[in-house]
Structure 1
Amino acid sequence: MRVKQLTEDCLKGILEFISDDKNTLYSCLNANRAFCKSVVPILWRNPWIYSSIYYDDTIFWKCIGKTILKCLPKESKEDFYKNGLKLNPSIIEQPLFNYVTYCQSLSDKIIEKLVDNLLDVHDNDHIALNDYKSIIQEKFWELFLSQSYNIKFFKLPTFKIFDRPEAKKCLSNISTLECDTFLPSEYFLEVPKYCRSLKRIEIVMNFNNFNEGIESLILSQNNLQELKFCALQDDKKFKFKNSKTIEFLSNSLKSIEFENRVCLSSQIFSSFTNLTELHINLKNFDYCGLYCLKDIIIPQLEVLDLKNAVGVNFDTYSKLISNTHGFLRIIKIETKSHPPTSNIEIYLQTLITYCPRIEVVPIWLARRQSLDNFDNFLVSSIELKIIQIELKEPNDNTSNRETVLAKPVLELLATRSNPELKKIYLKGRWSFSHVDLQEFFELWKGRRYLTFHFDNEFYSYYIVRICEEYYKQGVINGGTINYTSKV
């Protein structure tokens, strides 16, 4: 079928399906007008996220700021020149799209970054620069609030946003609200007048660990399912002083997320009996408040996601898993250091005993470790679909260059695992020959198509050839070898 025969709705559906593949979307921009018209709204839903992957953060914000500047009405642009603000004459041109209308994420930090990187000190009076910034910030707020009618994520700014008439319509559809505890309580009391369908509230604990307005906001919502806490200070726990708030959350809350530290007491935590997802990012610490997880019982938990975890605390993670009631389907643990061998065995035994429905899981194996528990885990995990197996590096640096034969692990995966297993990731200094891999793929024949990833630094032409051959046969449907060679 030719592209020109695709209907607009069909094309949009295809592009939506690949909306997470930004590289492909960018390549579609220059295909033709129809592609460009469909891709731009997707890329501009949250364009700010691309700053982290851009080669120069300053240039990124300057470029995107100029684009938004062009979206301003002609009258606003003329006002800039009347006030002595020197800007590139190209801003008079109207852009091909009104990009602001597609934006679904907005915060005061975004506006500030756009403006701070937009003005050039050398081209403008340094003394008047702050005044110019205030003028452009005001115009940008007017632009977004008057034309962005599909805002989904919004951070409550330090000024009373709802004093602006245009904000009431713009913010009526937000599903995620971020708010700081240092803001006055009355700021939060205005939100329910225009929005009672928040799905997610993100609380930044900044100086205060209690805000009556936030509790009132929570109680006013009809569809609240997710809470995120970002603690900016050590040893701070968020306090709920209204018992009705805890009762309300125990019925509605499905997901909770912690950034930096666990900032709820175990008693309050365990009140959320309908919780199905727990996400913890331990980037800056992994001790303060973490041990309360040993005392938490989350009977309905299905997803456990731990980032920047520390290996020595694996006994705590295992205890948390054992306090669930067999509903866990997905476990994601990203570690800064490998767990001790003794904790690996406890972790495997915990999975065998308490996770009969596990579908996605990371596993660690140590050198010269018995594979009995690993074997038992594969046999007991009758719904396993994705597994990541990481080789634990020894503490003795003199042994770091040793490799471990992966053949017995591959044989167990091919003969003892659930037939629905579809993705295998091997991480670490595993080794196997192309013959070993060929035997593994022969054993795999007749099972579900496999995606196979192997990422140590060794490269073997013969292994790549074996993968290519079994890809042609349909035994495997993709993967990577050594990060560089795609299957």
Structure 2
Amino acid sequence: MPTQLPADCLNEIFEYLERDKAALHSCLLVNRLWCEISVRILWKNIWIPVGYEHRMRVETSILNTLIGCLPNKSKTHLQEKGILNSTQISKTCLFDYPTFCKVLSIHMIGQMIIDVFKNQKYLAKEIMKMFMTRTSLKKLSYYNNPNTLNLSFVRYPGTKECFTRLSKLTCSSDIKSIFFCKLSQICFNIESLTIEFNGTISNDLKNLISSQNNLKYLSLSQPFFSMTDWSDIIPSLIKHTNTLIKLKIYWEAYNFLNRSKQLSFITKFSILQELVLSFQRNDHFDEINNILQHSIFPHLKILKFPYRYPKVEILIKFLKNNGKNLKEFFINYTLPILPADDLLNLRISKCCPNLRLLSTLFKKVESLKLFLNRCQQLECFETHYNYGLSERDILGALAESSPKNFFKLKLLYYSYSQLTPEDLEDFFINWKNRVQQKSFYFTMIGKFNNIDDYYINRLKNDESMKMIEKYKKLGILKKFEIINH
């Protein structure tokens, strides 16, 4: 008889599959023990989005399961309202699924009910009552949008027990203030807070922010049509200067608000380890350039500019002050704003000698080689192939000059690849001959379709796959993947 792994070992293994719903579904069918363990992980966050083609089927399945878990009193009430029929209320479930839920998305529940039942507020109310009495949440997501049903769930019995252990909150600022008022009386240990600013900011939201004991991660978003001035929320934010280690600002709005006034608080977070500035326009940086070039973050490890970025001279000054301990640097170059030269990259290599991950664009192969020689801790390089060096130049530079710990390359595409199977094999041979050898990870990410398929399929044919498997068996290649994103 085969040896059965202990339940705690299986649970630890299945935790790695939390976002792979298909794999978890397969685990359900193995035996009862596997089913009991995997179902808890599957339902921990059942709201992870799925592809559009499967959405209705998945939403219907989730709702039918939740309906089956409703107390008999709720089922009878919904039958009297004409929402459920006798078949639906007679269904029972093998597990008490709501007790497994640690993540709750209010707007996704609303969207599901609208999709499947065409807006049944009575059903939403009974489902939320059930969650309040059976669930102890870790994460809550609540956005006020047209598809969010108007629910006063914070007044339902069991709310305190449901939200006491809440550690992550994602919300919009224009939710009714009673929601923030109630949470500020219950939740004191939120570690991660994401706020999308729409409309006015209530005093109850400020109180909720102020009342947290250990806020570590903060994300603030100003959407395109938002005119919210959130400078008066700053006193609540800076109360967390001794705990906050990650800050993300997403600014899409095109307005005439004083950004320097709203963003000056950034400098207060002296123990910050990660800073992400996602600005949609270059001129969004104009009013905070002075803030950036004089900011000191002695513990900063990760710096990202996912969209636009400050002027090069400002960014260089920032890196001189904060680059010594930097482990990851990400800058996104897109048309029509492309670098004229490699000046910034060469300054990065001087200011940030301890980088492990770099995402940028090089114009000359000599500059990439010089960078690789200077940054001896580098492990991963991400770049847009179409805007900079050719794939052959990138692979050649890595095989020749990358430091001993380097092992991962990600190429991002906006058009077709020119890489051939022969180019790949040449690289693998050169990688094999390195003095310091580490198995290589190679990922190609892009929107591959139409003519692009021809070029990508060259790397997916039988001969290419045989070659790739050959170098995997030799231990030279650890992973090769082409992702159509």
Deviations 1:195-242 (A, max 9, x none): 21110222221122x433222222211111111212233564421366
1:212 and 2:211 equivalent? Answer: no
CA contact (8 A) 2:216 2:245 kept: yes
Relative distance call for 1:271 and 1:409 in structure 2 (3 A) is same
Please, what is the CA RMSD of the aligned residues?
A: 3.2
Deviations 1:345-383 (A, max 9, x none): 1331232122111111123234xx3x2321221011121
Show the counterpart of 2:407.
Answer: 422
Relative distance call for 1:251 and 1:473 in structure 2 (3 A) is same
Distance in 2 separating the partners of 1:259 and 1:468: 42
Show the counterpart of 2:344.
Answer: 347
Show the counterpart of 1:35.
Answer: 34
Relative distance call for 1:473 and 1:107 in structure 2 (3 A) is closer
1:171 and 2:157 equivalent? Answer: no
CA contact (8 A) 1:437 1:466 kept: no
CA contact (8 A) 2:173 2:199 kept: yes
Show the counterpart of 1:61.
Answer: 59
Unpaired segments ≥5 residues, structure 1? 121-129, 395-402
1:360 and 2:345 equivalent? Answer: no
Q: How many residues align?
A: 452
Deviations 1:383-442 (A, max 9, x none): 111112332438xxxxxxxx9461x54343233222111212344545463562344233
Distance in 2 separating the partners of 1:288 and 1:58: 42
Relative distance call for 1:453 and 1:116 in structure 2 (3 A) is closer
CA contact (8 A) 1:261 1:290 kept: no
1:286 and 2:273 equivalent? Answer: no
How far off is 1:167 after superposition? Answer: 0.3
- Amino acid paired to 1:290: F
Relative distance call for 1:242 and 1:419 in structure 2 (3 A) is closer
Distance in 1 separating the partners of 2:168 and 2:180: 14
CA contact (8 A) 2:60 2:116 kept: yes
- Amino acid paired to 2:344: Y
1:224 and 2:215 equivalent? Answer: yes
Distance in 2 separating the partners of 1:14 and 1:261: 40
Deviations 1:255-310 (A, max 9, x none): 1223343867342222222221123445xx32453344533225232122343x25
Scaled by the length of structure 1, the TM-score of the pair is: 0.81
CA contact (8 A) 1:261 1:288 kept: no
Q: What's the secondary structure of 2:82's corresponding residue?
A: coil
Deviations 1:16-74 (A, max 9, x none): 133344332232222222222211111212211234x2414344323321221111012
1:382 and 2:381 equivalent? Answer: no
Q: What's the secondary structure of 1:251's corresponding residue?
A: coil
Show the counterpart of 1:189.
Answer: 181
Tell which deviates more after alignment, 412-421 or 311-320.
311-320
Q: What's the secondary structure of 1:106's corresponding residue?
A: strand
Aligned partner (choices 319, 325, 328) of residue 327 of structure 1: 325
CA contact (8 A) 2:133 2:157 kept: no
Q: What's the secondary structure of 1:61's corresponding residue?
A: helix
Show the counterpart of 1:76.
Answer: 74
How far off is 1:248 after superposition? Answer: 1.6
Unpaired segments ≥5 residues, structure 2? 145-149, 254-258, 446-451
Q: How does 1:39-438 map to 2 (within 5 A)?
A: 39-51=38-50, 53-87=51-85, 89-119=87-117, 133-155=120-142, 161-183=153-175, 185=177, 187-208=179-200, 210-232=201-223, 233-234=225-226, 236-240=228-232, 243=235, 245-261=236-252, 265-282=262-279, 285-287=280-282, 289-292=284-287, 294-295=289-290, 296=292, 297-299=295-297, 300-307=299-306, 309-310=307-308, 321-322=319-320, 324-334=322-332, 336-337=334-335, 339-342=337-340, 344-366=341-363, 369=364, 371-393=365-387, 404=390, 406=392, 408-428=393-413, 429-431=417-419, 433-434=422-423, 436-438=426-428
CA contact (8 A) 1:348 1:377 kept: yes
Relative distance call for 1:61 and 1:260 in structure 2 (3 A) is farther
Scaled by the length of structure 2, the TM-score of the pair is: 0.82
Q: What's the secondary structure of 2:232's corresponding residue?
A: coil
Show the counterpart of 1:123.
Answer: none
Distance in 2 separating the partners of 1:223 and 1:185: 23
CA contact (8 A) 1:386 1:421 kept: yes
Distance in 1 separating the partners of 2:91 and 2:70: 10
